Amino acid sequence: MKPAVKRPETLLVERDGRGVVRLTLNRPEIRNAFDGTLINDLTATLDQLAADRETRVLVLTGAGEAFSAGAELGWMRSAAEQGDRENFQDALRLAELMRRLDDMPMPTIARVNGAAMGGGVGLTACCDMAVAVEGAVFALSEVRLGIIPGAISPYVLRAIGPHEARRYFLTGERFDAATARRIGLVNEVVSDEGLDAAVEDLVGKLLASGPKAVRAAKDLIAHVALKEIDDLLIRDTAQRIADQRAGAEAREGLDAFLEKRKPRWSA
């Protein structure tokens, strides 16, 4: 990859010639825990990337041995000691960060290189795909600190379902990568040595597909999931495929298939 571009010290942003961006939480000395500064920096960086049509895949990971330890305890305590309005605004900024990551228009991959605690589980659940090393540990440990996983709950619940949430939200216990895969939080569990290869395999599969089609398919999921199948939904989905196949990308994809060659976007 190219050298990291200049960004806030809390983050490293690397982009390769294919349009793949690796975004690294860069606070290894505190296991990539986040406070108000990191939340603001990460939100701003995600906003910039969301507006960049050249970014085809976003990989999120952590520097050092951990993915993210979640919210920094000192920051949480100071936030709680503020007035009600300031406390709420701090919590809202975290909730907006999670929504921004969840709403990214390009596919996102969580490269879980180590422990993911609390908000780190939230970041994992907000990504479209997640690959974790075998030694990664996870916990929704907020209740052990007398708080709750409020801001991350919509995304974690969507990933693991209410039944599993009733256990892990309420006990705050740690669980391993194999359990994270079983309950739906991560897609793959690999060795430390196999992590980059597994992530690259997903990246390669994403890059083999039409860039506009991938974004349109992600948007389709967001609009169709859990909706009632009625006339309005049927018409909406028909319109989406009609719009997509009338475009230049679909013509190129169909021509490439019929001509037994690779489409231009994967060359």
Residue among 139, 133, 135, 136 nearest 160 (CA):
139
Place of tokens 């600190």: 145
Can you tell me whether residue 9 is helix, strand or coil? coil
CATH architecture of the domain with residue range 11-207: Alpha-Beta Complex (3.90)
Max CA pair span of the chain:
66
Q: What is the pLDDT of residue 17?
A: 94
The rounded percent of the chain whose pLDDT value lies above 70 is 97
Q: In which region does residue 184 sit, left (phi positive, over 0), alpha (psi from -120 to 50) or beta (all else)? A: left
For residue 3, the Cα-to-chain-centroid distance in whole angstroms is 23
pLDDT, tens digit, 9 for 90 and up, residues 148-197: 999 999 999 999 999 999 999 999 999 999 999 999 999 999 999 999 99
**What is the rounded distance in angstroms from the CA atom of residue 120 to the CA atom of residue 123?**
5
Q: What per-residue confidence (pLDDT) applies to 267?
A: 59
Q: Where are the domains of the chain?
A: 11-207, 211-266
**Long-range contacts formed by 193-197: CB under 8 A, 24+ apart:** 195/111, 195/113, 195/131, 195/133
- Say yes or no to pLDDT of 86 above 90: no
Which string of b and e fits 91-106 if b means at least 16 CB within 10 Å?
beebbebbebbbebbb
**Quick one: pLDDT at residue 8?**
59
Structure tokens at 79: 């936030």
- What's the CA gap between 133 and 188, in Å, rounded? 8
b vs e for 112-143, b when ≥16 Cβ sit within 10 Å of the residue's Cβ?
bbbbbbbbbbbbbbbbbbbbbbeebbbbbbbe
Q: What would the mean pLDDT of 231-237 be, rounded to a whole number?
A: 92
Question: Is the predicted pLDDT of residue 244 greater than 50, yes or no?
Answer: yes
For residues 244 and 214, is the Cβ–Cβ distance under 8 A? Answer: no
Assess whether pLDDT exceeds 80 at residue 263. yes
What CATH architecture applies to the domain 211-266?
Orthogonal Bundle (1.10)
SS3 137: strand
Burial (Cβ within 10 Å: 0-12, 13-18, ≥19) of residue 51: exposed
Whether the model pTM is above 0.85: yes
Altogether, the residues listed in the chain come to a count of: 267
Is the CB of residue 136 less than 8 Å from the CB of residue 112? yes
pLDDT-derived band at 87 (thresholds 50, 70, 90) equals confident
pLDDT of residue 85: 86
